[in-house]
Amino acid sequence: MTLQDYFFDKPYRAKADLARDLGITQHWMSALINGRGIPSAVLCLEIERRTGVRRETLRPDLFGEIL
C-alpha cells in the first residue's frame, strides 16, 4: 500500500490532520503522497506507525524492498 492508496477513501481533512500530527506542512505531506518528496528514516517510521504504509514502500533505499 502506498500513501496514495491509504488516502484514497479518507475524508478531505485526513491529509492535513496527519501532516499536523507528524509536525510537517501540508505542502510536504502532499509531496510525500505524490512521490515528489523523500521522507527521512524517522518520518518513515512515524508514517508507518500511524498509517500502516510500510517503511519499505516509503524508502526502499534504506529499508529494502518487500519481495
For the chain, percent of residues with pLDDT exceeding 90: 93
Q: C-alpha grid cell for residue 46?
A: 512515524
Q: How confident is the model at residue 37 (pLDDT cuts 50, 70, 90)?
A: very high
Q: Kindly tell me if the per-residue pLDDT of 67 is higher than 90.
A: no
Class of domain 3-57 as given by CATH: mainly alpha
Phi-psi region of 54 (alpha: psi -120 to 50; beta: other; left: phi over 0): beta
As a whole number of angstroms, the distance between CA 63 and CA 59 comes to 6
User: What angle is formed at CA 25 by the lines to CA 46 and CA 13, rounded to 5 degrees?
Assistant: 85
Say what the pTM is. Answer: 0.90
